[in-house]
Chains A and B, each alone.
Chain A
């Protein structure tokens, strides 16, 4: 598909990136002010459309005839860039609506980020935009840049127009945009589209990501987010973008990882950040590569933009320095790359081309005195090897190292292969000449070999993800109507234990045989029926913590013991909590001791229903060794959740213990995901613990709590 063909297929957001005419509202003639800089940037960046300044009582701005209002412009206006103070922006937007403007970039600050009054203003502006069908970027943003020669629009107050490239950058922070533009300029990195979307009152990061998925100018999408509002929407969009034909990688920085960072992000954007641990798990589940730093963002982006996708994880390393070669090997293996053995032919070629002291195994050490001929022969040999999927060239500057010639030979080797290549010319001033040659040839260069490995593993991860089939959710056989009937009969808040067990039973969980008894005789009779030691648990809508009121009696053997325990329990509760309404008590068999796990579900404000898995006790409380997933949970995801905890080996028979019923745990996770997806009233659900048995004995729910919305 040619670029021009793609542009002919109109998209609702085209008016943001490809407007035929732009009016800047609120321009002033004073240089080095935001309105003036924006107007000058559009004027001088090579914009291919028509530009109008709207500046009351000014004859012209930079010799371009000015208009008092946008309504005074005699021609059609596709896009309005608004830089008025926030208290009058609604007037400008109203006029834009009357004029038939298609998109608005609202640079102005003073909206949601400053408090309730600003939020009200923002809502007002958005309502006008929605009513008039105008797409809104911002407010409180830096603006939009499109380097496509068809448009060449720099509707921002960035200092410079970036170079053209195939990376798109979306940022919630305008200030970060200017830093990134400067950073990229220094690294020779270009952009296809560059958007600061600020408060995202109208167009969101999700809309922009979907647009960029179809943008023929963009290969890689980078996103900086401070605040996730529609986590599920982001996940759905990312799953579509990162898989299948035309898949593109999404690399994302989501700030607010720490509690302090979340607070800063909240005060910055005017809203709370999502729970980071859930974000982490869910973004990964959507095929998004989450990174922590700008360096890593671009390290991986240039690898994916400049280099072909790797066929596998096998990495060959060619180095003139043993130490960095070993460090790179360690880093590669730790990150998940493989260091393969070379085949016999490669080994022969290396042996004949390198001195006897060289290491001809992977990592190949061409030794400190190597010049370009050794690098060339070694690189060519390893790239020709079928056991190698990608290569990393490491160089340290020795006195005889001909850096320029080695860089040239790497470029020549790169031209002869379809395998990805990365370089690390370690050092600073001396190696710069080589780095320049590599960068000009679009061979990714990293100051540290570890950075190169990290970029390579991200590229591998994305490639594996995009080619993997999308897991399909297959519903399990459950009685949703029965569960709903139980919940319909319950008020908001924590459900009674018998109701919780009824719900779980309807969804096929392994619950023990139980009965809600209403008298001592009833309880004694059921205990006889069970023919095993039983537990008695009081049921009352007023008692949450049963043990505190001696509302639990354990290991009762025989009907007399049950009767005695019943009477003691009810007498004690009547004394300590006379107002408690007693429904009765649950009688069930004692559950044999076993390994404890916790299964949880929570309706997250950002991501909707989510499911959690962890081993019980210390593993959850101290080590926070838990995994999360979006509900509903596929069979594949359930398996990866269970295997994702650090303590997984405890379930597989570590130190001579019997192997647990892992399949049963996975099935419980799927049932739990289905339950919280089917019933939006469930706010929280904890099965704590689920007692894990062997594959023969199975698992058993020992305790459960469900909190319902009103």
Chain B
């Protein structure tokens, strides 16, 4: 099973049309990866679909970096009883 970080990078790459290999944990979605506001909303929806979870949209949109998104998603998965590979 792919890790949360791998899956976040894959979804981000697909949504923003970027090679996932170029995405790093410390990258900001907007400043480093060029996500537009509409793409940020799209990313939240794609993460929900990828992980089978529901996220509070305001809280999710306030997440700045890829690494923070991984932590946020892992926490929501744990709260909602969804098993994920954290390694």
Contacts and interface: CB of A to CB of B under 8 A. Distances in A.
Interface string A47-70: 000000001111000000000100
Nearest to A33: B36
Contacts of B16: 57
Nearest to A28: B36
B7 to A, nearest CB: 20
**Size class of the contact patch on chain A:** 10 to 19
A85 interface: yes
A30 interface: yes
Contacts of B55: none
B67 to A, nearest CB: 14
- Interface SS of chain A: helix, strand, loop or mixed? loop
B83 interface: no
Given A87-B62, A88-B28, A91-B28, A30 B34 contact: no
A30 B31 contact: no
Contacts of B30: 26, 84-85, 88
B36 A56 contact: no
A56 B64 contact: no
Residue among A26, A30, A88 with max Cβ neighbours from chain B (10 Å) = A88
B77 interface: no
B17 A87 contact: no
A58 B37 CA distance: 15
Contact of A88 (B17, B31, B36, B38): B31
B60 interface: no
Interface in A23-41: 26, 28, 30, 33
A88 B64 contact: yes
Contacts of B36: 28, 30, 33
B31 A57 contact: no
A691 interface: no
Given A88-B28, A91-B28, A56 B62 contact: no
Interface in B31-51: 31-34, 36-38
A409 interface: no
Contacts of A28: 34, 36
**Size class of the contact patch on chain B:** 10 to 19
B2 to A, nearest CB: 22
Nearest to A89: B31
Contacts of A33: 36-37
A57 B38 contact: no
A677 B71 CA distance: 58
Interface in B7-37: 16-18, 28, 30-34, 36-37
Nearest to B38: A30
Interface string A71-104: 0000000000000110110011000000000000
A87 B29 CA distance: 11
A128 to B, nearest CB: 15
A56 B38 contact: no
A34 B16 CA distance: 19
Contacts of A30: 36, 38
Interface in B55-77: 62, 64
A451 B18 CA distance: 60
B34 A58 contact: yes
Contacts of A55: 34
Given A57-B16, A57-B17, A57-B18, A91 B34 contact: no
A91 B26 CA distance: 13
Nearest to A91: B31
A80 to B, nearest CB: 13
Contact of B34 (A56, A85, A87, A92): A56
Nearest to B13: A57
B31 A84 contact: yes
Interface in A657-683: none
A107 to B, nearest CB: 14
B31 A56 contact: yes
Contact of A57 (B28, B34, B64): B34
Contacts of A88: 28, 30-31, 64
Contacts of A56: 31-34
A241 to B, nearest CB: 40
Contacts of A58: 34
A-B interface, 10 closest residue pairs, ranked by CB to CB distance from nearest: A56-B34, A88-B31, A28-B36, A57-B34, A91-B31, A88-B28, A57-B18, A85-B30, A88-B30, A55-B34
Interface of A: 26, 28, 30, 33, 55-58, 68, 84-85, 87-88, 91-92
Interface of B: 16-18, 28, 30-34, 36-38, 62, 64
Given A57-B16, A68-B32, A68-B34, 11 more contacts: A26-B30, A26-B31, A30-B38, A56-B33, A56-B34, A57-B17, A84-B31, A85-B30, A85-B37, A88-B28, A92-B31
15 contacts: A28-B36, A33-B36, A56-B31, A56-B34, A57-B33, A57-B34, A58-B34, A84-B30, A84-B31, A87-B62, A87-B64, A88-B28, A88-B30, A91-B28, A91-B31
